[in-house]
Amino acid sequence: MDSRLLITLLKAEVIPAMGCTEPGAVALAAAQAGKVLNKPVDSIEIVVNANIYKNGMAVGIPGTGSTGLEIAAALGAIKQQPEQRLSVLAAVSPEELAGARQLLSEGRVRITVDDDKSNLWICALVKTGVDWSRVIIADHHTNIISIERNGEVLFSKLTDSARETVDNRQILRGDITIAGLIAAVEQIPSQELAFLLDGVEMNLAAARLGSTRQLGMGIGNVFAEMQAQGIVADDIINYAKRLTAAAADVRMSGETVPIMSSAGSGNHGITVILPVYAVAERMNCSRERLSQAIAISHLVTIYIKIHTGSLSALCGCAVAAATGASAAITWLLGEDIVKIEAAMKNVIANLTGMICDGGKVGCALKLSTAAAAAVESALLAQRQIIVPSTNGIIASTIEETIRNLGKISNPGMIETDKVILRVMLAKGEQQTAS
């Protein structure tokens, strides 16, 4: 396995994000459409697939005190800075926020759902006078596939040479094994992975903020208080839970604090990084060893997401990211591939079935659970505790187990996803009516 391709993949998938990545992706599409016109915006129409809508309904938007895709779209179109990618919502000025609020109050921002789009899909149509521009993002949060202005195609991955763009995930497709992937990471000089430590510092800063302030649901802050009072032990599992929950509190509440994402998700990035850091810190691991473990955590998570899909009814922040984290933690504890795969199976057996019902402050609860499962599964695997392959979706190999997990996600939970969205929409209509 080519280590250069792994590093390229990591640099593509591990990027800073300001706020939840689904509103961030909507803001990115609107920003690109706005930049094409380079004029004050008259109206914005956004069409998204169900999962983008679901994940953006109730999540806080940084620097606004508001939630939802509408304010994100308005800010993106006004800021017109698509080069910032998923950080397009960073540093919102009072003037930009006032302009966005005016667009919303005048009913000039509209969000609709295209039920026929099963994969990640965002179409942003921005109008100014007689001019209009349309931008489409598909499959991945930053993957712009089409840009139009007044009917003229300026860019298209379907027609341009840009369609030859490399699929960075290709290296993890096919007959790749978890053992082979981890062996490849072990061969990468640690200095070439040092950039991943920026994500550790970034997410740790969010965790420290959430541990000292009552943000979101305040789970991380309350955990810190209970540990200080001796009500909850400050052991390695609870330390991982506190850091992870605290960072999620910060992110989901809409604080203007960047998060290092993984596989297109900030919450994935939190779960991928912080439980691994917690164990590494308590074990006094070197920064070089930590960087390798973080690489394993990211890459295993991306490998799983290839099978489960970018967005689904499964909570990937728990199932996929916790499985990646558990692989990395077990590697830190001894580099035994049998135990690493055992830990991964333990997480999948434990957390599969946890649903994604959108991005919101309550995600901190799920991430806390995921962090605990990641550490517990690693510790159990160290003691030869492994879910038997006769149990449920657990197979004889970890690769087949992950493929089974993918089948649960798609096609297994497609109807579940639709029901979740219908429930959320009905609840929203009831709350609006009241």
**The amino acid at 322:** A
> What is the model's pLDDT at position 159?
53
pLDDT in tens, 310-367: 888 999 999 999 999 999 999 999 999 999 999 999 999 999 999 999 999 999 999 9
Q: Average pLDDT over the chain, rounded to whole?
A: 94
> What is the model's pLDDT at position 160?
47
pLDDT above 80: residue 429: no
For 219, 233, 319, the CA distances from 223, given in Å and listed in that order, are 6, 10, 23
Q: What domains sit in the chain, N to C, each tagged with a CATH number?
A: 19-156 (3.30.1330), 169-424 (1.10.4100.10)
> What is the model's pLDDT at position 163?
42
pLDDT in tens, 94-106: 999 999 999 999 9
pLDDT in tens, 6-30: 999 999 999 999 888 999 999 999 9
* Percentage of the residues of the chain whose pLDDT score is greater than 90: 85
State the Cα torsion 363-11-33-266 to the nearest 10°. Answer: 10
Residue 389 backbone dihedrals phi, psi, to 5 degrees: -70, -5
Q: Which two tokens stand for residue 261?
A: 């994402």
pLDDT in tens, 241-297: 999 999 999 999 999 999 999 998 999 999 999 999 999 999 999 999 999 999 999
pLDDT in tens, 137-191: 998 899 999 999 999 999 998 754 444 445 788 889 988 999 999 999 999 999 9
| Rounded (5°) CA angle 53-58-64 | 110
pLDDT in tens, 26-69: 999 999 999 999 999 999 999 999 889 998 988 999 989 899 99
Name the CA radius of gyration of the chain, rounded: 21
Q: How many CB atoms lie under 10 A from the CB of residue 231?
A: 10
* Mean pLDDT along residues 192-217: 98
Find where tokens 């139009």 sit: 148
State the Cα torsion 180-322-266-48 to the nearest 10°. Answer: 90
Q: How many CB atoms lie under 10 A from the CB of residue 183?
A: 12
